[in-house]
Structure 1
Amino acid sequence: MAKSGQERKNIQPGMEVDIVLKQDQRTGKTTRGIVKDLLTKSPNHPHGIKVRLQDGQVGRVKVIIESS
Structure 2
Amino acid sequence: MTALTGTERKNISVGAAVSIVLKQDQRSGKLTHGIVKDILTKSAVHTHGIKVRLETGEVGRVKHIETD
Q: Distance in 1 between matches of 2:57 and 2:36?
A: 10
Q: Distance in 2 between matches of 1:26 and 1:20?
A: 9
Q: Would you tell me which structure has more strand in proportion to its own residues? A: 2
Partner amino acid, structure 2, of 1:28: G
Partner of 2:40: 39
Partner of 2:28: 27
Q: Distance in 1 between matches of 2:39 and 2:6?
A: 11
Q: Distance in 2 between matches of 1:58 and 1:47?
A: 14
Q: Structure 1 segments of 4 or more deviating over 3 A?
A: none
Partner of 1:4: 5
Aligned residue pair count: 67
1:2 CA drift (Å):
1.1
Percent of aligned pairs with the same amino acid: 66
2:41 is paired with a residue of what secondary structure? coil
Output the aligned Cα RMSD: 0.6
Q: Distance in 1 between matches of 2:35 and 2:41?
A: 16
